[in-house]
Amino acid sequence: MQNWERLTRQANRAYSNHAFSDAVELNQQALTQAEMSFDDDFYRDAESAVAAAAVSFLNIAESYTALGDFVSANTQYENAVNFLQAIIVRPDLDGEQRGLIMRTATHIRFEWELFSQSYSKHVSTQSKVLMQALSNAVSSSDTMVHH
């Protein structure tokens, strides 16, 4: 957890200084730390382990939003929900742990809904642009292969 805390503080400083790309990178490193030690941390202190992962996902989404990369931000909300869904199906969870995960998932869904209300048009537009670019790249590579 110490590495996670250090990386998260650095990410918060980067965000405050409008270094949003650095904030994304540092928060992704923090998330990796949280995920790598999650099982051990969860059984020692479930609340801290779940909070660390959730905070990292939300911070990454916020940094992507500040960069104007709304598709990547949206993906982080989705990843956060998927992460929690993978945990809640564990058969060895007790009621308190399940409740913690449900409350955290509800909070993330609420944040995601607020994001969606504000940026859904941007997500849609960027998705279309990305799909068109991908389509053009595939067409271009097909043309190169056939020559």
* pLDDT (tens digit per residue) in 9-27: 999 999 999 999 999 999 9
Mean pLDDT of the residues in the chain: 93
pLDDT at 146: 56
Evaluate whether residue 16 is within a structural domain: yes
**For residue 15, which of 1, 30, 2 has the smallest C-alpha distance?**
30
Half-sphere exposure (CA, 13 Å, Cβ side) for 43? 6
Output the domain CATH number for residue 96.
1.25.40.10
Question: What's the CA gap between 33 and 103, in Å, rounded?
Answer: 23
* pLDDT (tens digit per residue) in 89-104: 999 999 999 999 999 9
Evaluate whether residue 35 is within a structural domain: yes
105 vs 144, residue with greater confidence: 105
Domain that holds residue 93: 2-120
- Count Cβ atoms within 10 A of the Cβ of residue 143 and give its class: 0-12 exposed, 13-18 middle, 19 or more buried: exposed
Question: What's the CA gap between 138 and 97, in Å, rounded?
Answer: 46
Evaluate whether residue 144 is within a structural domain: no
Evaluate whether residue 111 is within a structural domain: yes
Question: Into how many domains does the chain fold?
Answer: 1
